[in-house]
Amino acid sequence: MAVKTRSHWKEYGTALCATLITATAGTCYGWPSPTLLYLESEESSIPTTAYQGSWIVSIMILCSALTPIPSAYLADKFGRKTTLLLGAIPFIIGWILVIVAKSLPMLYVARIFSGLGYGVVYTVAPMYTGEIATNEVRGALSTLITLMNKVGILAQYCIGPFVSMRTLASINLILPFTFIITFCFLPESPYYYLKFERSDRAERSLRSLRSGDIRTELKSIELNVQEDMKNRGSWSDLFTEATNKKAMWITLGVFTVQQFCGSAAVVAYSQFIFNCTTGPTILPNGTLEEKTRKSIEPYQESIIIGCVQVATCILSVLLVDRVGRKPLLLLSTLGVGLMNGTIGTYFYFYDTNKQAVQNVSWILLVALIVYIVCYAIGLSTVPYVTIGEMFPTNVKLYASCIAHIYTGVAMFAVQNLFRVVEQAYKIYTVFWGFTIFSFLGLVFMVMMLPETKGKSFASIQAQLRHEVARDNAKKIDTVEY
């Protein structure tokens, strides 16, 4: 007799509507790539310098660090669904401000609002999709968050070069409004209802997400929620419990590598990076030379990069449970470091001895494609997996909030300093700097990062306790010596 398998189309449909808001976040993230070239050109209605452009790019991410803690509180108090709906409002305000902007301060304010929404989305969306999913599709639904973000970025690469800045903002407004209209009719997380002992609403919510009998699953969720409520943690537990403290420092170290390998700059400045090899250049003798046009335009190269991002964003999910977390992160970091070095070296020769690389102009595009693939298989998603595996349930949300805040600040630094360093020391210096950070991160992960693949939470905690005890023993030996 064949075993009847449960249909998951309701979960996929709900998650797809929910992740429209992460696609909206992706449009905000990718918007500067085609737009900055216009803003910094002579035709711009809002004249912008390179330094001001770096603030247009980076201020959004800086402000995204302000909302994880408030949004986590709102998600617990008023529900995941309500908080995500509220998170769409800053995006709408941001795009409207871009449409009416007549000055740089107005663009800054628009990006600030987008950043506030970005922080809400990436705190609450993983919570919501994780809680509505069954174990069989939880990984796939979590992938949708990243996939939809990349789709939003790709949309900017594809549409931006052909329309005005304000038209692009008007098109981008469609997504948050579509999200609000569709998501209003979808259920709240059953976990949220059970947390406040609203069993009847939790049952209705779960029934709208599942096909077939839900009684066993509802009882299981109820027991999980009761267990979580009994063992409620606090912010201080992250830094007073030895294993949590160890896990926190490892997590922040991995996120440092994730950001300072330059990924945020590559995505936000994609078209600018390709544009560095077009336009006039001043030769050492002071004469002006027109650079030969490439067979592929910079915006077309950006579109290729965007397509590769979309195609590879699910790659790490397919590999992470087969290869392991640590090997994937090491391979990813090594690949990213090598490609940063390759790109930096290409730009160095392009700047100092153009003839040496005039027949290998394809290296830049190929190196960036390999960079995107290497980043996608490990550094893009695995750091978030480590949060889920190294922290107990009662402090996981707090750890996630701190990681998001730290990531926002680090990403801001990378995006803001990219143009500053490029203007002062040339673009090859930027990529060589990313190379150094990548290889330092590789050493850190080899020495500090534990492998968590296939291990229970209890086993991971025991490993962390063993490492803490070993570190303490070393300290005692040093003091005695």
The amino acid sitting at 19 is T
pLDDT at residue 50, rounded to an integer: 87
CA-closest candidate to residue 174, choices 20, 311, 390, 312? 20
> Cα torsion for 8, 13, 18, 22, to the nearest 10°?
100
**286 burial class (0-12, 13-18, 19+ CB within 10 angstroms)?**
exposed
pLDDT at residue 5, rounded to an integer: 53
- Cα–Cα distance between 16 and 5 in angstroms, integer? 21
pLDDT at residue 321, rounded to an integer: 62
Two structure tokens written together for 11: 């979960």
Percent of the chain at pLDDT exceeding 70: 85
- Kindly give the interhelix angle for 20-30 and 165-172, rounded to the nearest 10 degrees: 170
Is the separation of the CB atoms in 391 and 307 below 8 Å? no
Query: Domains of the chain, with CATH numbers?
Result: 10-186 (1.20.1250.20), 234-480 (1.20.1250.20)
CB within 8 Å of 393: residues ≥ 6 apart: 227, 228, 231
CA-closest candidate to residue 209, choices 8, 4, 5? 8
pLDDT tens digit sequence for 379-437:
887 887 777 677 776 777 788 888 889 999 999 999 999 989 998 899 999 999 999 99
Residue 472 CB: number of other CB atoms within 10 A? 11
pLDDT tens digit sequence for 322-337:
777 788 889 999 999 9
Positive or negative, the CA dihedral 452, 454, 456, 459 is negative
CA-closest candidate to residue 91, choices 154, 26, 36? 26
Is the separation of the CB atoms in 351 and 276 below 8 Å? no
- Cα–Cα distance between 301 and 157 in angstroms, integer? 9
pLDDT tens digit sequence for 284-325:
444 445 555 556 788 888 888 888 888 887 676 667 667 777
Two structure tokens written together for 312: 């590879």
- Cα–Cα distance between 268 and 29 in angstroms, integer? 7
CB within 8 Å of 62: residues ≥ 6 apart: 115, 408, 409, 412, 416
Positive or negative, the CA dihedral 140, 145, 147, 148 is positive
Range 175-189 average pLDDT: 92
Phi, psi of 449 (to 5 degrees): -80, 125
- Kindly give the interhelix angle for 457-480 and 242-260, rounded to the nearest 10 degrees: 100
Is the separation of the CB atoms in 6 and 134 below 8 Å? yes
Residue 218 or 327, more confident = 327
Q: Indicate the helix (H) or strand (E) that contains 281.
A: strand 280-282
Two structure tokens written together for 455: 């291990």
- Cα–Cα distance between 84 and 368 in angstroms, integer? 34
pLDDT at residue 299, rounded to an integer: 84
Q: What is the DSSP letter of 163?
A: S
